[in-house]
Each structure stands twice: as C-alpha cells, then as structure tokens.
Structure 1
Amino acid sequence: MTIEDRAKAVESDFALLEDWEARFSYIIELGRSLSPLTPDELCEANRVKGCSSQVWLVSSPSETVPGAIAFRGASDALIVAGLTALVIGLYSDLTPKDILSFDAEAFFRRIGVAEALTPQRSNGLKSMLARIRAEAGAKL
C-alpha cells in the first residue's frame, strides 16, 4: 500500500467520526495498539527531542519490503501514543524515497489534527515527523 493510500484510509476513518471527542478517542485507541518497546529500546538515543511527553521511535530494516524502513514507537501520554501510532502507520515499511516524498505536515493540517492539538503536542508531532524524515534521509 502506498503512503497516499494509507493517508486516504486515515482520512476516511476521520471523516466517519462526528467530532473531535470521537477523533481523539480513536487516536487514543490507536496508541493502545502499539506493540511495547523493550526496556533497552526506551533509551535516550531513541527518544524524540522536542516533545513535551516522552516519545521513543525505533527504526530497523523492514522485514517485508526490501529497502524499506520499519518503525516502532511508544509514548508515556495517551494522545501522543496515538499520534505516534498514526505516524508509524503512515510511514512504516516504506522506502526512504517514499517517506521523503510525502508532506505529512500538510496531511495532518488537511485532516484537522494539527489545528486540534495544543501547541506542545503540535510541536511534538512535528518533531516525530522530522525524526522520521531524518532517518529516511540518512538511508538514501
């Protein structure tokens, strides 16, 4: 599935939800679905700087798509964990080129997430996106 297909699926899911209370409940449920990181993965090297909550992103070569990057993550805050799950769902198992070609900030503005977040959470989301783009850029 391309990143555009993934983005359209998220957009469709959000369109079915009536208001931001329902959307945030959905985001929280996504966060609860994250596979836990190991204690070794919850280290400073994997922590995303610029987030007010604790967020960790771990990257590794994809086991299913040659040349792609797989991402896993965690957060100590429910909504931020959900945002982490959304970001991972968009980007995991894509090639660096595909990751870098997608404007995630515009996507999150389009579905209204960027405007619904507090400034601190919005900065954290931008930090996660920057980290993923940096990881992809390093693999080119």
Structure 2
Amino acid sequence: MTMAELTQIIETFEFLDDWDDRYAYITELGEQLPDMPAAEMVDANLVHGCMSKVWVTARLSETASGTVEFHATSDTSIIKGLVAILLSIFADKTPEQVQNADVDKLFKRLGIFDHLSPNRHFGVYAMEQKFKTLAEGLQ
C-alpha cells in the first residue's frame, strides 16, 4: 500500500458516518491484500500478543532505495483490514521513518480505538511493535 492509499483510507473513513459501514470498509481493505505465501506463515513471523493470528515479514526494497517492504496478513477479516491500514502507514518508509511513525495518532483520528475491545487495541499495539522491530533489524 502507498501513501496515496493511506490518504484514500482517511478520506473514506471521514466520509462514512456509520460504524457498521466503517467496519465493512476495514474488512474490504483486508480483502484487497495480496495473499501471503504459506512458507511465510510460520511461527517466526507471528505477532505475539494478538488474539488473532497475524504474520508480518519485512525486507529492504529492491526498487525504492532504503525503504522497507512489508508483507502481512491475518486469519481474521477485521484484523486483516487493520493490517492493511498499518501497511499503508508504513508504506514507502525507511526503517527510521517506520520507527517514528505515529500509529496511535492516525487510529485516534479515525476513531478506531474507540470501537475496539481492549484486547484488540493491545493487538494493534503488538502489530505496530512487530513492524517496528522488523524495520529496526534492517538498519
């Protein structure tokens, strides 16, 4: 996902007033993610602290100098949508920029944290930390 896609997510979220519509949109975002190869869906790539299974991988981009390419998925549709939002936040960023990305700010702006259970909120934090840890390992 790209920065333009993040802008589109924000605009769509702000357009949708009803949380049922927003949940449906989050689910749609997850459905648009490319499949993750089964070989990458291993314990080493799991996010610990998440109720759902979430896998994340990272590598330095071969095309965009110094940026990180993340690949991620989940076994739960709503969480897969949240993964898609996280992917858009971290898209086209260097490892240092990933470290400095303010996920809380965006999720609060979108009102997502107000509509997640405490366990899901903790899961988002665990996913964010996995992304940042992987990016740090690429520096």
Per the TM superposition, whether the score is higher than 0.5 is: yes
Hey, which bits of structure 1, 4+ residues long, moved more than 4 A?
5-8
Cα deviation, residue 96, structure 1:
1.0
SS at match of 1:40: helix
Q: Are residue 73 (structure 1) and residue 72 (structure 2) matched?
A: yes
Quick one: which amino acid aligns to residue 128 of structure 1?
A: M
TM value normalised by structure 1: 0.90
- TM-score normalised by structure 2 residue count: 0.90
Structure 1 SS opposite 2:136: helix
| Structure 2 CA distance for partners of 1:63 and 1:110, relative to 1, 3 Å | same
CA RMSD, Structure 1 to Structure 2 (Å): 1.9
**1-structure distance, mates of 2:90, 2:63:** 14
- Long gaps (5+) in structure 2: none
Give CA deviations for 1:46-89 in whole Å, capped at 9, x if unaligned. Answer: 10001000100111222331111101111111100000111112
Query: For 1:39 and 1:16, how far apart are their aligned partners in 2?
Result: 36
Match of 1:120 in 2: 119
In structure 2, the residue matched to 1:26 is: 25
The answer to whether structure 1 residue 15 and structure 2 residue 14 are counterparts is yes
Tell me, in whole angstroms, the C-alpha distance in 1 between the residues paired with 2:68 and 2:27: 24
SS at match of 1:57: strand
2:42 is aligned to 43
Question: For residues 84-103 of structure 1, what are the structure 2 equivalents within 5 Å?
Answer: 84-103=83-102
Cα gap change, 1:118/1:87 in structure 2, threshold over 3 Å: closer, same or farther? same
Amino acid at match of 1:85: A
What is the SS of the residue equivalent to 1:35?
Answer: coil
Any conservation in 2 of the 1:69–1:92 contact (CA below 8 Å)?
Answer: yes
Count of matched residue pairs = 139
